[in-house]
A = this chain, B = another copy of it.
Amino acid sequence: MKDVAALSGVSIKSVSRVVNNEPHVSEDIESRVRGAIDQLGFHPDARAGSLRRSGGVKSEAIGFVVSSIANPFAAAINRGVEKVATERGMAVVASSTDDDPDREESAVYALLRRRVDGLILATVCNSHGYLLSEHQYGTPLVFVGREPSGVEADAVVSDYAVGAGAATKHLVQQGHRRIVFLGIGPDSQSARECQGGFRSAIRQSGVPASETPLITDLHDEHDAERRTIRLLTSHSPPTAIFSSQSVVTVGALRALQQLGLQHPVALVGFDDLPLADLTDPGVTVIAQHPYSIGTQAATRLFARMDGDNESAQTVVIPTTLIPRGSGEIPPQF
């Protein structure tokens, strides 16, 4: 900037005025400065600007902490966040943690050192205590996919209970009674709410709970596959499956295909799957809307940054039932 000032023969402050489109600049100076800027290939230093601008407390960037940025669901949230951030000229710095609490903490600290103006957290870790002081100190926080524990902050979540309920009622409507609930452990808010939605839909349908086992301790996709096979080959197999996570849905799909039972046994999964309409049959799902979750989370964050001091609120994004075939199979045995 000093160089630009020297080249155009004006003060450094005039260059600053031109760069920031401030008023009270003569045409003459403006054009000379712009000429020098082009000639030198000058770009103003956003860090130095933000350092001075607000006592060093703003960086025009927000942080996004997530299990893995490569997860399509997380990537869609990221895109939503980015969209809203870009509209405000803000950058998004994303950090993957692989659900390792230590890495989550160090990622957050790294972002804090960069003085991000706010933090969006899409993690499953349980201890957010370390965030407390930062949050009180003024860094806005928005949680995504779960409500925070140990901190009072905004959250944006899918309507797990209603979604799981809709899936369950859908299966009951096809005539199913022996519906199994498949979920991954350990306990999390979304898992609990899915179970709650399932249970209350079952209760409302008058189906005895004894016919609807809940398996809530699955470990991963392979475990889901194994357990599904065991269930389907038992003496009283379910006629329908509700899977509450996409990993589990994929495992269940594999199990059904392996046993050749994909046509007689119904399946509805929570969370959409790519190419789910190209399998045979297509997979009926309760779709979440990760892009909306991202835009809403960012909107909430910016509201806080703009001084919203209301007490913490949770935005609930509705889900959508997408019938594709697997959920519309009537009971066969």
How many angstroms between the C-alpha atoms of A72 and B75 in the bound complex?
A: 8
A-B CB contact pairs (8 Å), 16 listed: A43-B109, A45-B115, A47-B56, A51-B51, A61-B114, A68-B79, A69-B82, A70-B75, A71-B75, A91-B93, A91-B114, A92-B94, A93-B93, A250-B278, A273-B274, A275-B279
Whether the Cβ atoms of A46 and B113 lie closer than 8 Å is yes
Q: Is A276 an interface residue (CB 8 A)?
A: yes
Give the residues in chain B near A83, CB-CB below 8 Å: 96
Q: Which of B48, B59, B70, B110 contacts A56 (CB 8 A)?
A: B48
Q: Which of B46, B47, B134, B274 contacts A41 (CB 8 A)?
A: B134
How many angstroms between the C-alpha atoms of A56 and B43 in the bound complex?
A: 12
Mask for A84-115, Cβ within 8 A of B = 1, else 0? 00100101111110000000000001111111
Q: Is A16 an interface residue (CB 8 A)?
A: no
How many angstroms between the C-alpha atoms of A79 and B89 in the bound complex?
A: 24
How many angstroms between the C-alpha atoms of A250 and B133 in the bound complex?
A: 49
Q: Is A137 an interface residue (CB 8 A)?
A: yes
Integer count of this chain's copies in the complex: 2
How many angstroms between the C-alpha atoms of A184 and B212 in the bound complex?
A: 49
Q: Measured between C-beta atoms, what is the minimum distance from A80 to chain B in Å?
A: 8
Q: Which of B44, B70, B278 contacts A257 (CB 8 A)?
A: B278
Give the residues in chain B near A250, CB-CB below 8 Å: 275, 278
Q: Which residue of B lies closest to A280 (CB)?
A: B280
Pick the most buried of A74, A94, A254: most chain B CB atoms within 10 A of its CB: A94
Mask for A263-297, Cβ within 8 A of B = 1, else 0? 00000000001111011100000000001000000
Interface hits, A104-149 → B, CB 8 Å: 109-115, 133-134, 137
Give the residues in chain B near A56, CB-CB below 8 Å: 45, 47-48
Q: Measured between C-beta atoms, what is the minimum distance from A128 to chain B in Å?
A: 15
Whether the Cβ atoms of B278 and A115 lie closer than 8 Å is no
Q: Is A76 an interface residue (CB 8 A)?
A: yes
